[in-house]
């Protein structure tokens, strides 16, 4: 038996038809992004942070699109034209885990300036079904196509939840919460990644991390992985899944092609209607929380840059410091309360933000230190970042109880951070030494990393160490409940050989014994969060969240002293961990 090869014209014709179908896919998707309301972000090699953009025009004949960007002043046209562009689009006001679309390696052609914004003309992506560098066709999961994934970074730890964004025979792209980015290293091995489709079918694969980056301006990150350890059985299974995903995408785009059909993979296994709880209305959330979430996002992006060895200019960190200073100036009490409400962030980050905010609060009114406060806040935002930089096999998590060996290992976090920041010229070196290198030092030399004594610790280092210690003591860790503010004050004040009593006293006088963000108990059995205090440090606005006579019932009532008689007498501070409560 002999096989007759296809004539050249037949092969070219088939290739041309496939190319035409693919170009039609791209145009359909780009037009859908332009037509529907999407939040569009561009990531460029020359910029640290993604920038907001909009699609102005799509020229299907020329194969180009024009992207408008406002406020991009710090980059030359030549740098833009030398960049490769990544475009991320996410539906505005979409539910959590809603569809997002990602195009990589878009080629810029021309830059034009129009007043306050510039326009980048780019080549349309060559294909939705691009051939990736590791081989295989990547199928984007768009038009409502969904598949979830559980990523096991270290054996025995809970997996990280993610959404599949594209799939190929060689690897895939996943989207997950930005707060989890510390767990992923370039070239890091992932022992198991379980992908689940709507009909219940699953595949579990080994993988290796190829890149990690922010997903536009959202609070998510994108990870690209390549598959490893593939058996012939897994290869065959994966080929089926990729083929079915391609058919489903063609069907959803309305393309009349030989590949187009409804795939059983994307038919929900359970048809019973399920309802997700609606997101909390904006009016029920703490004012200023949105601004703090943006600062948290910038800290995660900074961590990604440090982990990946990328250039760090510091602009975003100084913008974050300016935001914090502005909020403290506008409404100090609301700002201090909001600092305690970032409950979905890792503890290293929420601690850093609280220390930065409290340093700003106590130093801004002091003429002696006000001019340094911006640099102090930047260093305080960074001072814990060495800890997530140390995550690995020796210490896979900061959120679980640590062994004595892990605690000893973690004490090197300042030196680790110093190794990443030491060559940054924009960091004020004196402030860096006082805040980052001084936050864990004690007057008697028992601190770390340099075991400095009182003569080597100035006022900034002393108050930083006190605020750092007080905030740490009030946070639960290693199965220990956090202290109440009074217990923490007592612990620090009674160690004058370690902590400057004058600064401890000054701190207590400013915040009182029932500081903003603390949990208090009233004689009628009510628990409440302190939202505002008066000039004497007594609560003057509280958020009542529980009546101990009815443990199963949650409350959310904001009261002022006029209504405090309903609650009884203010009795004491409580440990939030004892009641599994968090401020909101």
CB atoms within 10 A of CB 415: 13
Instruction: Give the class (CATH, top level) of 130-253.
Output: mainly beta
Instruction: State the Cα angle at 368 between 365 and 370, rounded to 5°.
Output: 50
d(CA 167, CA 174): 9
Q: Two tokens at 404?
A: 């004595």
Dmax over CA atoms of the chain, in Å, equals 98
Topology of domain 287-511 in CATH is Hypothetical protein af1432 (1.10.3210)
CATH 1.10.3210.10 boundaries in the chain? 287-511
Specify the domain boundaries for CATH 2.40.10.220 within the chain.
Answer: 130-253
d(CA 162, CA 192): 13
pLDDT tens over the chain, length 584 residues: 333 333 334 334 434 444 555 666 677 777 777 776 778 888 877 677 788 888 888 888 888 899 998 867 667 888 788 887 888 887 766 554 556 778 877 889 999 988 778 899 998 876 555 444 444 578 889 888 999 999 999 988 899 999 999 999 999 999 999 999 999 999 999 999 999 999 999 999 999 999 999 988 889 999 999 999 999 999 999 999 999 998 998 888 777 666 788 999 999 876 544 444 444 444 455 679 999 999 999 999 999 999 988 888 899 999 999 999 999 999 999 999 999 999 899 999 999 999 999 999 999 999 999 999 999 999 999 999 999 999 999 999 999 899 999 999 999 999 999 999 998 999 999 999 999 999 999 999 999 999 999 999 999 999 999 999 999 999 998 778 999 999 999 999 999 999 999 999 999 999 999 999 999 999 999 999 999 999 999 999 999 999 999 888 899 999 999 999 999 999 999 999 999 999 98
3-state secondary structure of 191: strand
Q: Give the homologous superfamily in CATH for domain 13-123.
A: Electron Transport, Fmn-binding Protein; Chain A (2.30.110.10)
Give the sign of the dihedral formed by CA 220, CA 221, CA 227, CA 228: negative
Tokens matching residue 538: 């007594």
Pinpoint the residues of the chain covered by CATH 2.30.110.10.
13-123
Closest CA to 515 of 500, 491, 536, 501: 536
Distance, CA of 464 to CA of 358 (rounded, Å): 9
DSSP 3-state of 387: helix
Return contacts of 53-62, CB within 8 angstroms, 24+ apart.
53/87, 55/30, 56/119, 58/27, 58/30, 58/31, 58/34, 58/124, 60/27, 60/124
pTM to 2 decimal places? 0.86
Distance CA 195, CA 570 (A): 52
- Contact indicator for 454, 463 with CB cutoff of 8 Å: no
3-state secondary structure of 536: coil
């Amino acid at each position: 038996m002999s096989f007759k090869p296809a004539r050249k014209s037949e092969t070219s014709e088939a290739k041309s038809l496939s190319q035409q179908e693919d170009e039609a896919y791209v145009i359909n998707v780009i037009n859908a992004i332009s037509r529907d309301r999407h939040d569009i972000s561009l990531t460029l090699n020359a910029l640290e942070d993604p920038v907001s953009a909009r699609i102005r025009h799509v020229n299907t004949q020329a194969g180009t699109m024009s992207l408008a960007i406002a406020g991009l002043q710090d980059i030359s046209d030549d740098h833009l034209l030398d960049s490769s562009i990544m475009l991320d689009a996410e539906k505005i006001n979409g539910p959590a885990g809603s569809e997002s679309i990602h195009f990589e390696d878009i080629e810029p052609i021309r830059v034009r300036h129009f007043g306050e914004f510039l326009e980048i003309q780019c080549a349309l992506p060559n294909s939705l079904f691009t051939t990736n560098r590791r081989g295989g066709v990547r199928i984007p999961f768009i038009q409502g196509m969904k598949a979830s994934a559980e990523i096991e970074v270290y054996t025995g730890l809970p997996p990280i939840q993610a959404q599949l964004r594209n799939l190929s025979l060689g690897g895939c792209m996943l989207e997950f919460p930005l707060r989890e980015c510390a767990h992923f290293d370039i070239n890091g091995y992932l022992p198991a990644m379980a992908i689940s489709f709507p009909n219940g079918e699953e595949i579990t694969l080994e993988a290796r991390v190829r890149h990690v980056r922010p997903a536009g301006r959202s609070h998510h990150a994108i990870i690209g992985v390549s598959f490893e350890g593939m058996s012939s059985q897994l290869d065959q299974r994966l080929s089926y899944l990729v083929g079915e995903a391609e058919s489903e995408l063609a069907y959803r785009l309305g393309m009349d092609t030989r590949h187009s059909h409804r795939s059983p993979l994307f038919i929900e296994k359970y048809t019973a209607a399920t309802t997700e709880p609606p997101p909390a209305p904006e009016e029920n959330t703490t004012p200023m929380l949105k601004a703090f979430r943006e600062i948290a996002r910038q800290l995660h992006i900074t961590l990604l840059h440090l982990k990946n060895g990328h250039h760090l200019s510091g602009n975003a960190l100084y913008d974050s410091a300016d935001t914090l200073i502005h909020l403290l100036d506008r409404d100090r009490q609301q700002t201090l309360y909001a600092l305690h409400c970032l409950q979905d962030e890792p503890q290293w980050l929420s601690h850093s933000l609280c220390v930065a905010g409290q340093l700003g609060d106590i130093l801004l009114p002091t003429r002696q230190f006000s001019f340094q406060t911006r640099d102090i806040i930047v260093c305080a935002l960074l001072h814990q970042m060495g800890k997530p930089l140390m995550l690995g096999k020796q210490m896979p998590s900061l959120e679980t109880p640590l062994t004595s060996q892990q605690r000893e290992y973690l004490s090197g976090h300042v030196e680790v951070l110093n190794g990443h920041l030491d060559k940054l010229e924009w960091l004020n070196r004196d402030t860096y030494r006082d805040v980052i290198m001084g936050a864990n030092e004690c007057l008697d030399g028992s601190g770390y990393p340099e075991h400095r004594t009182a003569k080597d610790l100035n006022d900034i280092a002393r108050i930083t160490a006190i605020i750092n210690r007080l905030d740490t003591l009030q946070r639960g860790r290693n199965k220990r409940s956090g202290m109440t503010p009074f217990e923490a004050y007592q612990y620090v004040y009674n160690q004058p050989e370690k902590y400057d009593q004058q600064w401890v006293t000054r701190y207590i006088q400013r915040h009182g014994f029932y500081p903003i963000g603390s949990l208090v108990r009233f004689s009628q059995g009510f628990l409440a969060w302190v939202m505002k205090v008066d000039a004497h440090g007594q609560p003057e606005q509280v958020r009542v969240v529980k009546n101990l006579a009815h443990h199963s019932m949650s409350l959310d009532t904001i009261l002022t002293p006029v209504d405090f008689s309903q609650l009884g007498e203010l009795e004491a501070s409580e440990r939030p961990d004892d009641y599994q409560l968090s401020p909101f």
